[in-house]
Amino acid sequence: MASHRKSRPTGPRVAGIRTPALATAALTSVALLSQTANATPSDDRPTLEEVEKKVDDLYRQAGSATEKYNAAKEKTSKQRKKVDGLLDDVAQRTQKLNDAREELGSFASAQYRTGAAVPETATLLLADSPQDYFDQNQLMDRLTGRQKSAVDDYVTQQSETMKKRREATEGLETLTESQNDLKTAKSTVQKKLATARELLSELTAEEKARLAAIEKKKQEEAERKAAELAKQQAAQEEAERKRREEAAQQESGSGSSGTSGGTGSSDSSGSSTPGASTGTKAEKAIAFARAQIGKPYVWGATGPGSYDCSGLTQAAWKAAGVTLPRVTYDQVNAGTTVSVSQAQPGDLVFFYDDISHVGLYIGDGMMIHAPKPGAYVREESIFYDGESSIYSVVRPG
């Protein structure tokens, strides 16, 4: 007989639960599930601080990839010139080999007409290498001095041609590797920048305003650090100036002279410089860099319309008559390393453990640099990304 009992609902029953404790637990579970469902989208969304850190990391990684791109580009250019030279050399060697072969051919023709030593010479010309027949004294005895010279020349030209062809083949393989490295670095830069742009595009207007406020706060802190460094350097320069004056007074014996008699020199502000020549070059480098302010950062660019970080420092010191390497990894070794407190105008300030960024120090804790994609060449505190981000300070020379 069919049952007339109603089926029990499969969903949670609140009103029908007899035990109050169970009812409370059920209500709590439902509330929590509801909150979780509603909170899932916002929980998955990164915080503004996380976005800022991620974007900064992406730009830094893009900067590192840019320097790898610059290195691969420079290597590719040099390798291409080398390969072109090798191919030209191979062409010249091949022509000389053909000339030597033709000379041997003329001897074979003459011997054929006279019926002298035709088999041996003909076989010599058809062989892979005349060297194989050097051990056959009978043949060499029959050859005249001019014929021996022609054979020697042919063997030499063939050996040199084969050597140059091997070098050209190896050069082409290295060139291909450099081109692949170039493509990889370029792709990495593009991907990092695309990801950063995507993250920034997802921010609301309110979040962008908050992010700008965070950046402003960081900038103010960097400027405060720069001011502290400027005071510290000024104090050191003043102490050095007094030391030179005292040394000059003791040397003159007058005890009243206020002129500087030291070996160093000082500018109008009293700051010591490493020498007139170096100081003048540094001034020229800074003047050039300052004239580039406002030009866009473009990765791989060396001017004149745009720059990346190492492209700017290289161009600035080139304007002062000093040749720097292209990439930061090499520029960091192109001078004398000094402490941050000893930094002088014209010095190069390098950043991050991978040495992926560089700026030109202009004094008072400030530098001119090409910061990152989307930004422009500008003056900024060397503490713009925190004191710990500074890798080293190098004085070109």
Catalytic residues: 309, 357, 369
Q: How many CB atoms lie within 10 A of CB 379?
A: 14
Q: What angle do CA 370, 182, 69 make, to 5 degrees?
A: 20
Bridge partner list, 273: 265
Helix/strand/coil for 192: helix
Chain centroid to Cα 192, Å, comes to 15
Q: How distant, in Å, are the alpha carbons of 72, 82, 179 from that of 77?
A: 9, 9, 9
Q: How distant, in Å, are the alpha carbons of 51, 265, 320, 370 from that of 351?
A: 22, 30, 23, 13
Q: How distant, in Å, are the alpha carbons of 25, 50, 60, 131, 334 from that of 106?
A: 109, 82, 69, 19, 59
Helices (H), the chain: 20-44, 48-114, 118-126, 137-142, 145-201, 205-252, 276-291, 309-319, 328-331
Nearest-angstrom CA–CA distance, 263 and 240: 12
Nearest-angstrom CA–CA distance, 397 and 227: 27
8 A C-beta contact, residue 211 and residue 203: yes
Q: What amino acid is encoded at 19 in this protein? A: T
Nearest-angstrom CA–CA distance, 154 and 314: 49
8 A C-beta contact, residue 397 and residue 273: no
Bridge partner list, 335: 396
For the chain, how many residues are written?
A: 397
Cα within 13 Å of Cα(91), Cβ side: 6
